[in-house]
Structure 1
Amino acid sequence: MTERATAKRERLVASAAELLHRNGVGATSLADIAQLADVPLGNVYYYYRTKDDLVRAVLAAQTEQVAAMVDGFAGLPGPAERLKALASRWDLMRDVVARYGCPFGTLTTELNRRDDGLDRDAAMPMRGILDWAVSQFQELGCAEPRDLAVALLSAIQGSALLAATLRDPELLSAQVHRLHDWIDTLIPV
């Protein structure tokens, strides 16, 4: 694929991700995505035959973003700091999350209603976060690392949902700070 074609594909995926997050899958058309990406609608079909194909590309991109995000935490001094950095990512997005919800959670929730494979694909970004968090709690030496990882991700996602429901970014920020305090209680002395 040429550099220009790759750039178009990337613009389509980025535009689709933005619109799917903001409007949902059902309310987003390929024409909407093409317009935002500044790609003629006919060209979209060259890259993605269906909207579902484009949604799969967005999910793959989100999964890659999760991997890059957690890889970026590797330079932090320990698992507690890395877990706090994870929670802080939602604090950094608090205004967007309070308006549209979590980019991963909203898409997962919408696609989870389906039974055509996209529901399983939609779980991959969250599963990546969860699996990584389990490994961090294991490294921290915690008993029940999976339960703790589920508690952490549930607290983040629940706070994101409430922040979006109440349109209150500070709610999310406050909960992230509480999660930092909770993580500190898990550090062995």
Structure 2
Amino acid sequence: MTNSVDRRALASQKRRRLTTAAARVLHRQGVERTTLADIAHEAGVPVGNVYYYFKTKDELVRAALAEHRARLDDLTGTLDRLPDPRERLKGLVTAWIAERDTAARHGSPVGTLATELGKRADGTLAAEAGAVLRRLLDWTAAQFRALRAPAPDDLALTLISACQGTTLLTHTLQAPALTTHEGERLLHWLETLGPADGNP
């Protein structure tokens, strides 16, 4: 019984390593340039193990998107512990700024995948990537709603579009300072919004 439990635990750990590796490699290289061997090497497992857990590259892409969704949930879950929705939003921007060097090298983890997958005839995986960004938009809108700000969905779109657009420029121009500059502007903008009671 113990051996069976140990085997299941080891299998779960190996699958987790492969999923984490897939998220990293796909972010760096994109879907088309990534092989299952690349992911096996990143995870430090024999390539045959990849086929045991994931039969196709698309399954790995789906696992990588689940990893990005889990990381987003971890971040927003941590921010949700802050009592003030304005501080939660500022925390989101600050976390985004902290990733500026990675953004300059590889772009947005989900945004780049969504763009690449969106060019496929079958839009299933693109829709799943879009759902991760939709999750972020919904969380952001909820914070503006908690602030009693007018048009919270529009404000969320403004904030996330600014982050995603700046990440694209940061990557294209290899200029992390762009993210720092835009991040500081967004933090100032969040400060200028009316207080949580909705009064200007």
The TM-score range, normalised by the shorter chain, is over 0.9
Letter in 2 for 1:169: P
Question: 2:117–2:123: 8 Å Cα contact kept in structure 1?
Answer: no
2:92 corresponding residue in structure 1: 86
Distance in 1 between residues matched to 2:109 and 2:99, nearest whole Å:
10
Q: Tell whether 2:47 aligns with 1:48.
A: no
Q: Give % identity.
A: 47
SS at 1:155 equivalent: helix
Question: 2:40–2:50: 8 Å Cα contact kept in structure 1?
Answer: yes
Any unmatched runs of 5+ in structure 1? none
Q: Tell whether 2:20 aligns with 1:14.
A: yes
* CA deviations over 1:136-161 (Å, ceiling 9, x no partner): 01011111111000000000011111
Distance in 2 between residues matched to 1:99 and 1:29, nearest whole Å:
20
Q: Structure 1 residues 71-80 or 174-183, which shifts more?
A: 71-80
Q: Tell whether 2:83 aligns with 1:73.
A: no
How far off is 1:81 after superposition? 0.8
1:174 to 178, 181, 185: 181
Question: 1:16–1:58: 8 Å Cα contact kept in structure 2?
Answer: yes
Q: Structure 1 residues 143-152 or 103-112, which shifts more?
A: 103-112
Over the aligned positions, Cα root-mean-square deviation in angstroms equals: 1.2
Runs of 4+ in 1 over 2 A off after TM superposition: none
1:186 corresponding residue in structure 2: 193
Q: Tell whether 2:140 aligns with 1:133.
A: yes
Q: Tell whether 2:128 aligns with 1:110.
A: no
SS at 2:80 equivalent: helix
Distance in 2 between residues matched to 1:66 and 1:127, nearest whole Å:
11
Q: Tell whether 2:146 aligns with 1:144.
A: no
How far off is 1:127 after superposition? 1.0
1:121 corresponding residue in structure 2: 128
SS at 1:75 equivalent: coil
**Paired residues for 1:26-41 under 5 Å:** 26-41=32-47
Distance in 1 between residues matched to 2:85 and 2:14, nearest whole Å:
38
Distance in 1 between residues matched to 2:96 and 2:116, nearest whole Å:
20
* CA deviations over 1:59-91 (Å, ceiling 9, x no partner): 111111111110100122311111111111111
SS at 2:66 equivalent: helix
Distance in 1 between residues matched to 2:12 and 2:119, nearest whole Å:
32
Question: 1:112–1:122: 8 Å Cα contact kept in structure 2?
Answer: no
TM-score normalised by L of structure 1? 0.96
Distance in 1 between residues matched to 2:97 and 2:87, nearest whole Å:
15
Alignment length (residue pairs)? 189
Q: Structure 1 residues 74-83 or 150-159, which shifts more?
A: 74-83
SS at 1:2 equivalent: helix
- Structure with max Cα Rg: 2
